Amino acid sequence: MRSHKLRKRVDMAASLLAVGCVLVALIPLVSILVEVIRNGAPMLSWEFITDRTTSGVGNAILGSLQIVMYAAFIGLPVGILTGIYISEFGNNRMGSTIRFFNDVMANFPSIVVGLLVYAMLIVYLGMTYSIIVASVALSIIMIPIVANTTEESLKMVPNSLREGALALGVPRWRTVLKVVLSNGRSGVITGALLAVARVAGETAPLILTTMFSYFWTVSPNEPSAALPTLIFNYAMGYSSLTVDEAMRHAWGAALVLIMLVLSLNVSVRLLSMRRFKKNHKGARRWRTRLSLKA
Amino acid sequence: MKCGDANMNERGTEERGSLQKTRSGLSLATVRKTLGRSGDRLFVYLVGLVALSTLMLVWLLVAFMISDSIESIEEFGFGYLTGRTWEEQKGVYGALPFIFGTLLTSAIAVAIGVPVSIGIAIYLSELAPAWIREPLSFVIELLAAIPSVIYGLWAMGALRPLLVNSVEPWLVKWFGWTPFFEGTPQGLDKLAAGLILAIMIIPTVASVSKEALRAVPDSQREAALSLGATRYETTRMAVLTYARSGIFGACILGLGRAFGETMAVTMTIGNSNAISWSLIDPGQTMASLIANRWGEAEGLQRASLIEIGVILFVIALLVNVFARLMLGRVLKSVHTTGGGL
């Protein structure tokens, strides 16, 4: 048996090691934020944000917004309906199959999703590299995420509400749409916005499906620039700018992208956290699932 | 009793319905009732169809993908998996260097990322005071919200100078005699890619392991503590042993993430198609090859790239199904809402 003192020291050392692990993980996070702000901030100007590529990133911002918008139009309704099915009618074999593959799909490499959509829309249906093809790819990434969060938040709605509505003679479908969905509303919206924030930063599927463009694009059937692809192309030197200039543009674009993504992500999660703190009974489980709370 | 009441109520409404029917031909109540019932069925079918359609769509897309890569499958057969050359001029393509690169970089990522993640999980679930848990989890989750292309940019701009100037010369000096650290430091190599992957899998592995640790019943801890174990001994013997399958599942999930990660790896791995064990030589993974070559590839090369995608798909499917089975349903949505990748 080891001495008491030694055991206490080992205990202390292990605790310090665990704290050390946390610090090690925080270093890259802080460093990324600092570097992006330090290198990107000098680039930020009205001109940089509104001009098209080579002097600014305006067309890439517009492209990103369009791609994400169309993706949300396709992905959110499908994802929410899938979540409704799993949560409200999924207590059977089909429900659990869908749930299982949804979980698996949620972790698929995004480049594979890009290839899948390329194989179908561009090769088979003969579409060109365009905004809409990229949106389809992003919406496929979105669907399982939205379905998961929708399911979780609908399951939090107490059963007594469903029973109450049904007992009043309200048909099941109206119960689901009016009572269950409106009570789980905030969770569904949170999940949807988080999914939007996530796909806004996706790059790999965009490379395979929209290519790149140096011009303004407003038609969904044309190739377009997007912030992530612009960062990639400039950082790898695939541009007409000099290496230095391209890197500076990439950092500027990275700052714009990280501001968009993180501000959406953080504000949504802070808001949902505050809302759930107000004497909500199911909140504990929901926050645990979102891993917002230990 | 309750059952009987419900029956009586139902009969009551039916009677009223039939009464109205006699008065006005087609009563409002029956219309509502039949509409409500078929509306229910319609709604279930509709929602079920939508839910099923994405599932079917993905498998349909896989079929399309395989048919697009058929040219390369027919040309190279199983030899594709062991072929070592990727040359446009000769029209010969083989996937071995990229499978090798993927495995090696993912191994580095797991070797570095998993211990750190488990440390974080233990801190968050066992040691941290209550007030710090929530904000700290939040901050760790932020790592997952950063787009991977920004990780790549950061690695090129900030990590590379550090690796070239201090870390790699030191590794070469002390471990240059092993096959893993031969060559001259360049900063864009398998080590850099592995490090970036390690950082990127931390939020996934840490949050899922933390959930696994939280799921350990307190009686386990209490039993060990009451026997006089220290905090460390309790965690090692009573908590980690109990949660090991969950933690293992978390690691597999992290591995799956490392396999499929594209952008950050493409930007850091140095883009070379040779097989080399040295971590400070450039390399290529399956995903980075697709991203690098997509723009210029045509015909047979594009079919070969799509075949790489098929292989990646199969690996991702196996890894994720396996991880899912290890984790069970309890820890479901943790990593999917985190974002990133």
Average pLDDT score over residue span A1-30: 89
Q: Which of chain B's residues have a Cβ under 8 Å away from the Cβ of A293?
A: 133-134, 137
Condensed to tens digits (0 to 9), the pLDDT of residues A219-229 reads: 888 888 889 99
Which residues 6+ apart lie within 8 Å of B320 measured at CB? A103, A104, A107, A108, B253, B256
Condensed to tens digits (0 to 9), the pLDDT of residues B156-197 reads: 988 888 888 888 888 888 887 888 887 778 878 889 999 999
State the residue for tokens 């969770």.
Answer: A187
Q: What pLDDT, on a 0 to 100 scale, did the predictor assign at position B25?
A: 52
Per-residue confidence band for B17, with pLDDT thresholds at 50, 70 and 90: very low
Q: What pLDDT, on a 0 to 100 scale, did the predictor assign at position B89?
A: 78
Q: What pLDDT, on a 0 to 100 scale, did the predictor assign at position B6?
A: 42
Q: Choose between B8 and B116: higher pLDDT.
A: B116
Q: What pLDDT, on a 0 to 100 scale, did the predictor assign at position A120?
A: 84
Nearest CA in chain A to B13: A169
Q: Where are the alpha helices (DSSP H) in chain A?
A: 4-40, 46-50, 58-84, 93-106, 110-117, 131-155, 159-167, 172-174, 181-183, 185-200, 204-209, 227-235, 243-277, 283-289
Q: What pLDDT, on a 0 to 100 scale, did the predictor assign at position B5?
A: 43
Nearest CA in chain B to A206: B291
Interchain contact, B60 vs A85, CB within 8 Å: no
Average pLDDT, rounded, for chain A = 85
- Mind listing the domains of chain A with CATH numbers? 61-227+280-289 (1.10.3720.10)
Condensed to tens digits (0 to 9), the pLDDT of residues A83-124 reads: 999 888 888 888 888 888 888 888 888 898 898 888 888 888
Containing B93, the helix (H) or strand (E) segment is strand B92-93
- β-sheet bridge partners, residue B92: B87
Interchain contact, A262 vs B122, CB within 8 Å: no
Complex ipTM value: 0.87
Chosen for mutation from B44, B71, B146, B218 (greatest number of chain A CBs closer than 10 Å) is: B146
d(CA B54, CA A145): 13
pTM, to two decimals: 0.85
d(CA B23, CA A221): 60
d(CA A285, CA B121): 18
CATH topology of domain B73-327: MetI-like fold (1.10.3720)
Nearest CA in chain A to B254: A107
Average pLDDT, rounded, for chain B = 82
Look at residue A138 and tell me whether its pLDDT is greater than 90: yes
- β-sheet bridge partners, residue B86: B93
Per-residue confidence band for B3, with pLDDT thresholds at 50, 70 and 90: very low
Contact assessment for residue B306 and residue B68, using Cβ atoms and an 8 Å cutoff: yes
Contact assessment for residue B87 and residue B177, using Cβ atoms and an 8 Å cutoff: no
* CA distances to A285, B199, B229 from B121, in Å: 18, 15, 20
| Interface A:B, Cβ pairs < 8 A | 315
Average pLDDT score over residue span B269-297: 86
Q: What pLDDT, on a 0 to 100 scale, did the predictor assign at position A140?
A: 92
Domain residue ranges in chain B: 2-68, 73-327
Q: Which of chain B's residues have a Cβ under 8 Å away from the Cβ of A101?
A: 55, 58
d(CA B98, CA B84): 9
CB-closest option in B51, B262, B324 to A100: B324
Q: Choose between B109 and B296: higher pLDDT.
A: B109
CB-closest option in A22, A111, A236 to B287: A111
* Eight-class DSSP state of B293: H
d(CA B141, CA B129): 18
d(CA A132, CA A217): 12
Average pLDDT score over residue span A274-278: 60
Interface of A with B in 126-185 (CB under 8 A): 140, 143-145, 147-149, 151-152, 169, 171-174, 176
Look at residue B259 and tell me whether its pLDDT is greater than 50: yes
Q: Which of chain A's residues have a Cβ under 8 Å away from the Cβ of B287?
A: 109, 111, 204
Interchain contact, B39 vs A207, CB within 8 Å: no
Nearest CA in chain B to A13: B232
